[in-house]
């Protein structure tokens, strides 16, 4: 009876979403990374934002899925039905059962040895299965991660920032840009207005003064605060900008400016991108 339930689950959920996401996945050996540092902020923020459900759990059992339900498993991988006991719900739409099940495609070890996950503590990044509260679907190939203090702390921080009432908006593009020369040679200010998913105002403000290094700040309201500053690295606002801004100002944003002012605005925008640094998804 248990195996029949597993077979039905594999057909209903794994074949629809999980298996394609796990093509080429490389799940690290969980037991060997308990004290490993957290992955890059960007990689983890991607996971948290994509996952309606994030749980801290301990794997209680794994059962290998074979036959037709595992026909699309990549070479060198094995498909498991996993049951895990939930220790904490880090992110979720509501209550979650104390034990959940999901399907996992895991890489075989040296010599084709099957990986062992029983009793491993993990963080799961998933979505709920409609109509089946006891099942979840992992959101991608890196969505089961070995628990570590660093990973847990960063996951909770990002989840809290994403769900906060004052969370910075998702940047979708560039609106208008302006450069206003100052009264002294080399003085001026550039403003770049961003478009956002929920139409909240966000602008970049770059200030040039003779003999000084350029300064920039981001404003999250219609009013530019003189005390505003660039976002700290590895924060949600930094992530929204570093990963959401295009690599150059679109020509339509500069149409209202004289060519010389447009060139300065482009330079100032590139200065902001350099200060933000790359949206690096390494260290996943």
Alpha carbon distance 44, 154 (integer Å): 8
- May I ask the CATH architecture of the domain 2-163? Beta Barrel (2.40)
pLDDT of residue 95: 87
pLDDT of residue 16: 38
The model's pLDDT over 130-150, given as tens digits with 9 standing for 90+, comes to 999 999 999 988 899 999 999
Q: Domain coordinates of the chain in residue numbers?
A: 2-163, 171-276
Alpha carbon distance 85, 2 (integer Å): 18
pLDDT of residue 27: 46
Alpha carbon distance 229, 216 (integer Å): 7
pLDDT of residue 64: 95
pLDDT of residue 94: 85
Following DSSP, what letter does each residue of 96-148 receive, concatenated? --SEEEEEEEEE--GGGPPP--TT-EEEEEEEEETTEEEEEEESSTT-EEE--
pLDDT of residue 93: 87
Q: Helix or strand or coil: residue 45?
A: helix
Listed in sequence order, the residues at least 6 apart from 223 whose beta carbon sits closer than 8 Å to its beta carbon are none
pLDDT of residue 36: 56
pLDDT of residue 281: 78
Residue ranges in the chain whose pLDDT is less than 70? 1-38, 224, 226-227, 282-284
Question: With contact defined as beta carbons under 8 Å apart, do 124 and 138 qualify?
Answer: yes
Cβ-count burial of 87 within 10 angstroms (0-12 exposed, 13-18 middle, 19+ buried)?
A: middle
Alpha carbon distance 119, 74 (integer Å): 25
pLDDT of residue 144: 96
């Amino acid at each position: 009876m248990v195996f029949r339930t597993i077979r039905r689950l594999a057909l209903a959920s794994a074949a629809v979403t999980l298996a394609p996401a796990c093509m080429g996945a490389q799940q690290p050996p969980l037991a060997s990374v308990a004290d490993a540092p957290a992955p890059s902020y960007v990689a983890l923020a991607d996971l948290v934002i994509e996952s309606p459900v994030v749980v801290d759990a301990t794997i209680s059992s794994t059962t290998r899925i074979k036959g037709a339900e595992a026909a699309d498993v990549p070479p060198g991988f094995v498909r498991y039905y996993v049951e895990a006991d939930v220790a904490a719900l880090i992110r979720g739409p509501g209550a979650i059962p104390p034990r959940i099940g999901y399907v996992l495609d895991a890489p075989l070890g040296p010599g084709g040895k099957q990986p062992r996950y029983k009793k491993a503590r993990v963080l799961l990044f998933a979505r709920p299965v409609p109509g089946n509260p006891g099942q979840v679907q992992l959101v991608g190939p890196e969505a089961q991660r070995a628990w570590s203090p660093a990973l847990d702390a960063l996951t909770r921080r990002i989840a809290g920032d994403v769900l906060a009432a004052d969370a910075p908006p998702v940047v979708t593009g560039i609106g208008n840009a302006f450069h206003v020369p100052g009264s002294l040679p080399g003085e001026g200010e550039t403003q770049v207005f961003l478009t956002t998913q929920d139409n909240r105002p966000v602008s970049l403000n770059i200030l040039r003064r003779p003999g000084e290094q350029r300064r920039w700040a981001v404003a999250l309201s219609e009013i530019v605060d003189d005390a505003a500053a660039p976002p700290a690295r590895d924060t949600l606002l930094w992530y929204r900008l570093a990963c959401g801004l295009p690599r150059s100002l679109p020509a339509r944003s500069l149409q209202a400016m004289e060519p010389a002012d447009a060139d300065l605005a482009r330079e100032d925008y590139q200065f902001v991108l350099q200060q933000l640094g790359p949206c690096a998804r390494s260290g996943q």
